[in-house]
Structure 1
Amino acid sequence: MVTQTMVQPSSWIETGIELRKIRGLKLFTFNHDLQTRLEMLIERQKNYLLTPEETTELAGLTELDRIFTLMNARIIAES
């Protein structure tokens, strides 16, 4: 296991997360602003432009994205 510093994923729960109805199922998604931020951080990472603060933010967003992928997969599997 690799230890990594990151922004706590729970910090975006109130302001950056939506339950969106997709094909009749309510799935967890990032809102538009948070999705845009994630994409911008990924682009900056590709160009080696991330600050240390942005690196920790990207780590937290990436972890939250993994969590949502697993949760949404379970919701879809159980439907």
Structure 2
Amino acid sequence: MITQTMVQPSSWVEGSIQLQKVRGLNLFKFTDELQARLETLIDRQKTDILTPEETAELAGITELDRIFTLVNARIIAES
């Protein structure tokens, strides 16, 4: 197993996450600011210019994205 340093995903829950009503269901979504930051970090990763701090930030945001994808999928499946 490879150990990876990341910013804790919970650090973005307060203030960077919103609920959005989609077809009558409340789904979790990143704020526009957090989504833009994710896209910026992905672009920087593609050009191989991420700092170690940005790599940790990207890992945390990506993990949070995976969690919300799973939670949203369950909300949809159970509706």
Report if TM-score (shorter chain) is over 0.5: yes
- 1:2 deviates by 3.0
Write the distance in 1 (CA, Å) between the matches of 2:41 and 2:48: 10
> For structure 2, which runs of at least 5 residues remain unmatched after alignment?
none
Write the distance in 2 (CA, Å) between the matches of 1:72 and 1:32: 18
Give, as a single letter, the amino acid of the residue that structure 2 aligns with 1:68.
F
Q: Which residue pairs with 1:15 in the alignment? A: 15
- Aligned pair count? 79
**Misfit runs of 4+, over 4 Å:** none
After superposition, the CA RMSD in angstroms is: 0.7
- Structure 2 length as normaliser, TM-score? 0.96
Deviations 1:18-76 (A, max 9, x none): 01111111000100000000000000000101000000000000000000000000000
Matches within 5 A, 1:1-79: 1-79=1-79
Write the distance in 2 (CA, Å) between the matches of 1:10 and 1:35: 16
> For structure 1, which runs of at least 5 residues remain unmatched after alignment?
none
- Structure 1 length as normaliser, TM-score? 0.96
